[in-house]
Amino acid sequence: MNEPLIAPSILSADFARLGAEVDAVLEAGADMIHFDVMDNHYVPNLTVGPLVCQALRDHGVRAPIDVHLMIKPVDRIIPDFAAAGASWITFHPEASEHIDRSLALIREHGCKAGLVFNPATPLDCLRYVADKVDMVLLMSVNPGFPAQKFIPGTLGKLREARRLIDELGGGIRLEVDGGIKANNIREVAEAGADTFVAGSAIFGADDYSQAVATMRGEIRA
């Protein structure tokens, strides 16, 4: 099993103070930064692109940046995010015309590659591209907005994804994103997740260190 990682989502940060917010959650013990990219086309919201990723690197952020693309198409922005300092790049299979090619493109540009599955999207394609996948991200909300409610059916899907990943071998990470809180992270971990995105539960807390520590304690308990 991979070491658990906690990845605060910038979507719930104060964007006017993004560098300081990212510094604060990393000082609070977070492992990496989840960077949500939305295009008002694939999802009904609009966020930030490679310039802001680069700005975080220029600001001095050294932690891994986990770029979650909620955009369509995906391929033409991949080189730009790699050049801007992305560590991981994940995309939704239905947003790419050629999933195998998009995965290969991410690795060719030196990043780790991942596929993101919406709550109702089957995991089927994973089997055929597993050798090009470093992470599987299961959405536990419909993508587009922070602070939504965790969809309980994700637990069964996590168990299914965990079985498939174990069968395929190779240490693929299993990330979960949406509605993760201190009061559900334990069952999410028990269902097989090893990488935990949390936006509002961390950036919405008065004390980031306490929020991260509580989550980590629940995972380890």
Binding site for ligand DX5 (CB under 6 A): 9, 11-12, 34, 36, 68, 141, 143-148, 177-180, 197-201
Is 177 an active-site residue?
A: yes
CA-based diameter of the chain, in Å? 44
- Is residue 175 at the binding interface for Zn ion, with CB under 5 A as the rule? no
Q: What is d(CA 129, CA 214) in angstroms, rounded to the nearest whole number?
A: 36
- Is residue 66 at the binding interface for Zn ion, with CB under 5 A as the rule? no
Report which of 128, 122, 106, 126 is spatially closest to residue 173, judged by C-alpha positions.
Answer: 126
Residue with tokens 């090009």: 132
Minimum CB separation from ligand DX5 for residue 183, in Å? 13
Is 66 an active-site residue?
A: no
Catalytic entry in 31, 66, 134, 177? 177
Minimum CB separation from ligand DX5 for residue 148, in Å? 5
- Is residue 92 at the binding interface for Zn ion, with CB under 5 A as the rule? no
Strand order in the sheet with 65-70: 5-8, 195-198, 173-177, 135-139, 112-117, 88-91, 65-70, 33-38
Minimum CB separation from Zn ion for residue 65, in Å? 12
**Closer residue to ligand DX5 in complex, CB, 168/187:** 187
Structure tokens at 191: 């269902």
Q: What is d(CA 51, CA 48) in angstroms, rounded to the nearest whole number?
A: 8
199 is in an annotated binding site: yes
Q: What is d(CA 116, CA 136) in angstroms, rounded to the nearest whole number?
A: 6
Residue list, annotated binding site: 9, 34, 36, 68, 177-179, 199-200
> Which residues bind to Zn ion, rule: CB under 5 A?
36, 68, 177
Report, as residue numbers or ranges, the catalytic residues.
36, 177
